[in-house]
Amino acid sequence: MRVSVLGVGSIGSIVASSLALTSAEVHLHVRGERGAQQMLEGLRVDGHQDLEFGAERFLFSCEELPCDAELNQGSDLVILACKSYAVAHLAQQAAMFLKPDGVVFTLSNGLGHVETLSRALGPKRVLAASTTHGAFTSSDQPTRWAGYGALSLATTPLGPSSDRVANVVDLLNTAKLNAAMEADSTALIWNKVLLNVAINPLAALGGLKNGELLEPDLFAACMMIYREASAVAVMERLLPPEEHVFEERLRTVLEQTRDNTCSMLQDVKAGRQTEIEALNQAISDRAEHHGLSAPINQMLAALVRACHP
């Protein structure tokens, strides 16, 4: 079995290194200076688990170079572990690597990715996915597996069979990635998005660790964001968690990740583009589509964009 990982940043390194523990053939699609280093040296991960594999353990392709013909339509599973704004581009690469009967999913934050993959590869090959594993990468250092979470998968209404999802889950659990199959793909995505939109922009704009959002005024702001987003979720035919349930979930997440720096703050500090378009801006856009307004989410999106390079 061959698995392709497209986008080998922090989460991609964790997934790829974990898959290297299995018997699967692991293909990495990399780019840039960091990708060139990975092609020469392989992958190193520390933190929750210390993993190190030389480059010979993997098959490689590089964004800047032509791909070997043997990689064409040779992968049973393709995993996009990229930022949300790269999904559309890497979906085209996935179409080249994926077998006709293979399956694909993305671990990117935000809304609209299942639709993007379905347009590029056909809905019968696309799964919904979400992860709570936490990771970050510092210059010239191994990827740090900062928080051991879970990886959830669900088939979509026109997607692969439950048996095929179960096979993917079994592989990911063999890789010790704590995977599970969920029943509702829409709920799977929205439950993660509701947390992301409530946490990430406030942490990014305030330069705050997650636990600092437990301060009463900031926590109240998180809940205001949730109320706007949950109204949009209802219009998208999702029954969001009741407010007291979400409040308890949010508090638990912030306490469990108290010392974490969220990915959006990491991007702002590094001068990189953020995922705000697929998060709070997507909430605002969908609100408008349904005749609602989401001024708090729109304001946060505008402020985070002002921090972009």
Domain ranges of the chain: 2-183, 187-306
Beta-carbon contacts of 268 under 8 Å, excluding residues fewer than 6 positions away, are 204, 274, 304, 307
Quote the DSSP letter at residue 44.
Answer: E
Instruction: Give me the pLDDT at residue 309, please.
Output: 67
In this prediction, residue 140 carries a pLDDT of 75
Q: Specify the pLDDT at position 218.
A: 98
- Beta strand pairing call for 2-6 and 25-30: parallel
Are 28 and 18 within 8 A, CB to CB? no
Rounded-to-integer distance, Cα 301 and Cα 279, Å: 8
Q: What is the reported pLDDT for 141?
A: 84
CB atoms < 10 A from the CB of 100, how many?
Answer: 8
139: left (phi over 0), alpha (psi -120 to 50) or beta: beta
CA distances from 113 to 123, 173, 214 (A): 12, 24, 30
* CB contact at 8 A, 133 and 107: no
Residue-level pLDDT at 128? 97
| Positions in the chain short of pLDDT 50 | none
Q: Which CATH number applies to 2-183?
A: 3.40.50.720
What number does CATH give the domain 187-306?
Answer: 1.10.1040.10
The residue type found at 70 is E
Q: Centre a 10 Å sphere on the Cβ of residue 62 and count the other Cβ atoms it contains.
A: 16
- The two tokens of residue 149 are 């979470």
Residue with tokens 């205001």: 224
Closest C-alpha among 277, 191, 267 to residue 236: 191
Q: Give the distance from CA 33 to its chain's centroid.
A: 22
3, amino acid identity: V
The CA distance from 47 to 133, in Å, is 12
